[in-house]
Structure 1
């Protein structure tokens, strides 16, 4: 008698009934889709789904001042800067936001800045809502692409600009006897 090592195991033919029996999911009694039992089961399933309705929570809505909002705004911006998100930090600090009730308005210089800001908007809103204890806060972003830059052309224009910033520059000019044709 010779035994061959390369002999493959014989496969047995499998009937359709065995496949259906093996893939049967439920171990309980079969219920027809059109029977009263299936209708009762469907109603019970719908009732159980209704019981998982999320309850309405009363979220805090305390009033807050613009200075409190600015304080938490800058804290959040500084924290982002420490984490390495310098662009977002600069976007938050580029302009002071304006508070109108619970709506915060921020003016950004271009559309690209607005898109970058909106990526991190949820984190900022979560921070402000949590620290100011008001969950009605909304943030509106306005794009203002008309950037006006004052150009100083000559010495007189530069002096006038410095005088607008600090009127005490006149005292400095007279104290040191600076000769500027004013």
Structure 2
């Protein structure tokens, strides 16, 4: 199943549908009986995927000789984007990444308010 899934994604990429190709390859599909579970990061991706799902189902059903195959799409929005809006927030984030930033700030007498 995974081989045919990948072949379909590559075929879409060759036709110029790069977004759909990347959506199909973003996660590995999981086969549970005749149901394929697939996880996407947001609702927009799900809508794009569902527009191509009929073609994908036709490809999979034909090549796998199983017309009972269905695809279940799940959205996993647990990934949180943390955005830094103030200078202090940005400084704190950089300080987490590299504690030597505080040494640089104190050595040169830099002020965050400026």
Q: Could you list the per-position Cα deviations for residues 143-176 of structure 1 after superposition, in whole angstroms to 9, with x for gaps in the alignment?
A: 0011268xx8359xxxxxxxxxxxxxxxxxxxxx
What is the alpha-carbon distance in structure 2 between the residues aligned to residue 99 and residue 147 of structure 1? 24
What is the alpha-carbon distance in structure 1 between the residues aligned to residue 54 and residue 62 of structure 2? 12
Q: Gaps spanning 5+ residues in structure 2: where?
A: 82-95, 100-114
Query: How many corresponding residue pairs?
Result: 86
Alignment CA distance shift 1:115-1:135 (3 Å): same
**SS of alignment partner, residue 96 of structure 1:** coil
1:139-178 correspondence runs (5 A): 139-147=71-79, 153=97
What is the alpha-carbon distance in structure 1 between the residues aligned to residue 65 and residue 58 of structure 2? 10
TM-score by length of 1: 0.45
Partner of 1:110: 42
What is the alpha-carbon distance in structure 1 between the residues aligned to residue 9 and residue 24 of structure 2? 6
Partner of 1:122: 54
Q: Gaps spanning 5+ residues in structure 1: where?
A: 1-68, 156-182
Q: Comparing both structures, which one devotes a greater share of its residues to strand? A: 2
**SS of alignment partner, residue 120 of structure 1:** helix
Using CA pairs below 8 Å that are at least 6 residues apart, which structure has the higher relative contact order?
Answer: 2
**SS of alignment partner, residue 135 of structure 1:** coil
What is the alpha-carbon distance in structure 1 between the residues aligned to residue 4 and residue 79 of structure 2? 27
Moved >2 Å (runs of 4+): 152-155
What is the alpha-carbon distance in structure 1 between the residues aligned to residue 42 and residue 80 of structure 2? 14
TM-score by length of 2: 0.70
| Structure with bigger gyration radius | 1
Q: Comparing both structures, which one devotes a greater share of its residues to helix? A: 2
Query: 1:134 pairs with 66, 83, 86, which one?
Result: 66
